Chains A and B, each alone.
Chain A
Amino acid sequence: MSTQTIVAAPEQSFTLSVRARERLLGIASPIVLLAVWEIAARLHFIDTRFFPAPSSVIAVLIEMLRSGELITNTLVSLRRLALGALIGGVPALILGIAMGLNRWVRAVFDPLIAATYPIPKSAILPLALLIFGLGEGSKIFMVAVGVFFPVVINSTTGVLGIGSIYLDVGRNYKANRWKTFWTIALPGALPVIMSGFKLGIGIGLILIAIAEMIGAKSGLGYMIWTAWETFSVEQMYVGLFMIAIIGFVLTVLLNELERFIIPWKSD
């Protein structure tokens, strides 16, 4: 049997709360990773043709920021993402809630959604190009498709998940259809709908990158693709980094939005 010695922790002059320590670690871990990467690249432990040192990526990033190339491509992608999310998300929200509230609407659309949902969205790209051409339409369509499914499915699930007692209260207090929608169905399903939107935006980001690689003349996906063609690895990393940043910022923004529109959610 092993003996365990328990050593009392020395009293510290300053103590950090668990949460502060968690946050600190969260900031420290990527920094440490980048530092290790940088050192490994400089010492040629890793092949810099594939994994260029972060410092050289940053140099290219600054250069691309100066030329305006990065900003332009980022804004183009963001615009497509926003329009696609709107065009896919709003009808999905309305249809999803209608499906949740009305069994006949559900009976009509449920099989259609179940049948089309498993199709990999990226496989629709050639069809989108065929229908919408090489312009903005096909890119926005791809994002819209990506956002549509998680939002419609989550809206239905959210409404169906509302406790029947709340609908009873609505009936007992003589809430009409319209008021039932605004005071019970929408707020009751909102937390689930919100996670559908988050999921959809994530899928939209994947799809916009793919769509821009084929038949596009702008956007971050296009930027990454041309980097491959010119074998400019640093530029490729800049593109990937930018997409990661967008994903991160959108997550933070959506979480803030969620806190704002769902103030009753207990953490």
Chain B
Amino acid sequence: MSQTATKNLRAVEPVSPTAAESQRAAARPAIRIHDLRKSFGQFVAIDGVSLDIGRGEFFMIVGPSGCGKTTLLRILAGLETASSGTIEIDTPAGADRPENAMVFQGESIFPWMTVWNNAAYGLRMRNAPAAVIKERVGHYLDRTGLTRFADYYPHQLSGGMKQRVSIARAFANDPEILLMDEPFSALDAQNKLLLQEELLHIWDEQTKTVVFITHSVDEAVYLGDRIMVMTAQPGRVKGFVRVPLPRPRAIIELQKAPEFGELIHRIWSELRDEVQRAREQENQDAAQDKRG
């Protein structure tokens, strides 16, 4: 309920902010989450998560499976409502762009649309002018190397290409915030590496705020500015790790950097207990299922 309240507040923001106000806006975080809770019946998925995500920040969330990270992202995407707590998403006044676009885990591009129409979906849904659609979709299909496949249907594409369409769709929609839910988890290691690099390239030319979920510690360090480690269920904030690696990054080169190994180690030591705990919970649940 408080979530809707803040959304309404945002709607009455002044259309043309004064210089002082816009300066403050720049310092203001893009996303401010305060004491967010989400439960499904008795099951507590997220328990009091508070965090700020800066404008243009590439923010990573890692945590054991079932820690509520996907639920958190779905709340940000407006696909779930929080049980309590607030989310403020700061959209610059008067900007004609959607608040967020999500890159889903697994296959989410429409099998009944061509690559082009899939990538144009968000723009079409908000009735963008044809010229804008042509320009933006053309641009991002080019950036994702899909121009040649514009008229293909998804069943003619590989898994990696499908996920690239999904990324092109999200970027073409030009959202304030990009939400990514383990977008590369289904891909093989080589394809994953290529797509991570491509994503960084696209992001470098237009540094959007990104919230990216992964269970891969390596991926978190490759891509992120800052990493949030979550606890096992119920999901809470375990800690934050800043990634001080310079940009633009070349993933292959990163692996040689001494800081890289150190970061991996730090995150892993935060994460290990939680993964262990998640596993114990799973075992308990399984044992309970067997008894019940």
- Residues 193 to 250 of chain B near chain A (Cβ within 8 Å): none
Which of B101, B106, B126, B155 lies in contact with A172, CB distance below 8 A?
B101
Q: Give every chain B residue within 8 A of A184 (Cβ-Cβ).
A: 110
Whether A54 sits at the interface, judged by CB under 8 Å, is: no
Whether A174 sits at the interface, judged by CB under 8 Å, is: yes
Which of A169, A176, A266 lies in contact with B110, CB distance below 8 A?
A169
Whether A14 sits at the interface, judged by CB under 8 Å, is: no
B237 CB to nearest chain A CB (Å): 25
B163 CB to nearest chain A CB (Å): 13
- Taken together as a complex, chains A and B put the C-alpha atoms of A183 and B125 apart, in Å, by 10
Which of A168, A173, A263 lies in contact with B153, CB distance below 8 A?
A263
Q: Give every chain B residue within 8 A of A262 (Cβ-Cβ).
A: 112
A230 CB to nearest chain B CB (Å): 53
Whether B64 sits at the interface, judged by CB under 8 Å, is: no
- Residues 109 to 132 of chain B near chain A (Cβ within 8 Å): 110-113, 121-122, 125-126
Q: Give every chain A residue within 8 A of B107 (Cβ-Cβ).
A: 165
Whether B78 sits at the interface, judged by CB under 8 Å, is: yes
**A174-B98, A174-B126, A183-B121 are known contacts. Are A169 and B108 too (CB-CB below 8 A)?**
yes
Q: Give every chain A residue within 8 A of B111 (Cβ-Cβ).
A: 264
- Taken together as a complex, chains A and B put the C-alpha atoms of A175 and B123 apart, in Å, by 10
A117 CB to nearest chain B CB (Å): 29
For B111, B112, B126, B173, which residue has the most chain A Cβ atoms within 10 angstroms? B112
Q: Are B122 and A264 in contact (CB under 8 A)?
A: no
Q: Are A168 and B79 in contact (CB under 8 A)?
A: yes
Which of B106, B112, B125, B155 lies in contact with A173, CB distance below 8 A?
B125
Q: Are B79 and A172 in contact (CB under 8 A)?
A: yes
Q: Are A264 and B155 in contact (CB under 8 A)?
A: yes
Nearest B residue to A171 via CB reads B79
Q: Give every chain B residue within 8 A of A172 (Cβ-Cβ).
A: 77-79, 100-102
Q: Give every chain B residue within 8 A of A170 (Cβ-Cβ).
A: 125
Nearest A residue to B126 via CB reads A174
Whether A187 sits at the interface, judged by CB under 8 Å, is: yes
Interface size on A, residues (CB 8 A): 21
Whether A134 sits at the interface, judged by CB under 8 Å, is: no
Whether A179 sits at the interface, judged by CB under 8 Å, is: yes
- Taken together as a complex, chains A and B put the C-alpha atoms of A187 and B117 apart, in Å, by 13
Q: Give every chain A residue within 8 A of B102 (Cβ-Cβ).
A: 168-169, 172
Nearest A residue to B100 via CB reads A172
Q: Are B106 and A171 in contact (CB under 8 A)?
A: no
Nearest B residue to A165 via CB reads B108
- Taken together as a complex, chains A and B put the C-alpha atoms of A266 and B125 apart, in Å, by 27
Q: Give every chain B residue within 8 A of A166 (Cβ-Cβ).
A: 108, 110
Q: Are A264 and B101 in contact (CB under 8 A)?
A: no
Per-position contact with A for B8-38: 1 when CB-CB < 8 Å, else 0?
0000000000000000000000000000000
Q: Give every chain A residue within 8 A of B153 (Cβ-Cβ).
A: 263-264
Q: Are B125 and A179 in contact (CB under 8 A)?
A: yes
Q: Give every chain B residue within 8 A of A165 (Cβ-Cβ).
A: 104, 106-108
Whether A150 sits at the interface, judged by CB under 8 Å, is: no
Q: Give every chain A residue within 8 A of B68 (Cβ-Cβ).
A: none
For B102, B108, B125, which residue has the most chain A Cβ atoms within 10 angstroms? B125
Q: Are A183 and B110 in contact (CB under 8 A)?
A: yes
B140 CB to nearest chain A CB (Å): 15
- Taken together as a complex, chains A and B put the C-alpha atoms of A66 and B240 apart, in Å, by 89
Q: Give every chain A residue within 8 A of B183 (Cβ-Cβ).
A: none
Q: Give every chain A residue within 8 A of B121 (Cβ-Cβ).
A: 169, 173, 183
Per-position contact with A for B80-114: 1 when CB-CB < 8 Å, else 0?
00000000000000000010111010111011110
Nearest B residue to A167 via CB reads B79
Q: Are B104 and A169 in contact (CB under 8 A)?
A: yes
Which of B78, B79, B113, B125 lies in contact with A175, CB distance below 8 A?
B125
B77 CB to nearest chain A CB (Å): 5
Whether B154 sits at the interface, judged by CB under 8 Å, is: yes
Q: Give every chain B residue within 8 A of A173 (Cβ-Cβ).
A: 98, 101, 121-122, 125-126, 173
Q: Are A264 and B108 in contact (CB under 8 A)?
A: no
Q: Give every chain A residue within 8 A of B79 (Cβ-Cβ).
A: 168, 171-172
- Taken together as a complex, chains A and B put the C-alpha atoms of A61 and B232 apart, in Å, by 78
List 18 other contacts, CB 8 Å, given A168-B102, A169-B110, A266-B156. Answer: A166-B108, A168-B108, A169-B108, A172-B78, A172-B79, A172-B101, A173-B121, A173-B122, A174-B98, A174-B125, A175-B125, A179-B125, A184-B110, A188-B112, A263-B153, A264-B111, A264-B154, A266-B155
Q: Name 10 interchain pairs, CB-CB below 8 A, sorted by A.
A: A168-B102, A168-B104, A169-B110, A171-B79, A173-B101, A173-B126, A184-B110, A187-B110, A187-B113, A264-B111
Question: Which 7 residue pairs of A and B lie closest in terms of their CB atoms, listed nearest first?
Answer: A187-B112, A266-B155, A264-B153, A173-B122, A264-B112, A173-B125, A175-B125
